[in-house]
Structure 1
């Protein structure tokens, strides 16, 4: 995303438990050594635990980053997995 160390980011959790990060002056967190440290309250709202692997989706045109927790990835893929099971019957 080209976010330099010290870039301030806003973090928002949507109704679908998607965490969205975007640069904004005075944002909640700052980039540090290429890492984004997500506060506990927001991790819990998004369904993220420390050490979880997450699916990241970047949109450079809007300079925003979406973070999907493992539980939300599973929810997104449930219809596909169901279709695969039905196709193999």
Structure 2
């Protein structure tokens, strides 16, 4: 029988007392907002458990979606909604809404949730281009 090899403790490990420190990620300037990033999956699948949790959208929550003038998808809970949060913790953006904002499978989207209003905005790549125009200028000018 071969005995397991256990490396000796290092001096650093000897000096640690109690649990390791935890890195705290700062919140947003507005505590009502929650952000997430998701990849659009097959048939418009969008999943971000932290954002859905911030909105208190549990499996079975019915949702309705519409396209905004700015090229975003607005999502909110509605008893007559045609989409629902699945047991696996995701929802699907219907084809009509994906088409109106040019959202494709594999696209990364920014999710912006408002906790109190229970609303979610989905920013597709085209809207992110407009949103980050100033950032692009700074990046290109710094060369």
What TM-score results when the alignment is normalised by the length of structure 1? 0.87
2:63 alignment counterpart: 9
1:9 is paired with a residue whose SS is: strand
2:121 alignment counterpart: 66
Q: CA deviation at 1:84?
A: 4.3
Give a deviation string over 1:37-67, Cα, whole Å, max 9, x none: 0111111112210121110001001001110
In 2, distance between residues paired with 1:45 and 1:79? 25
Choose the corresponding residue for 1:37, options 82, 92, 98: 92
Choose the corresponding residue for 1:24, options 78, 91, 95: 78
**Aligned length, in residue pairs:** 88
2:43 alignment counterpart: none
Q: CA deviation at 1:75?
A: 1.4
CA RMSD of aligned residues (A): 1.4
Higher CA-based Rg: 2
What TM-score results when the alignment is normalised by the length of structure 2? 0.57
Unaligned runs of 5+ in 1: none
In 2, distance between residues paired with 1:36 and 1:51? 15
2:112 alignment counterpart: 57
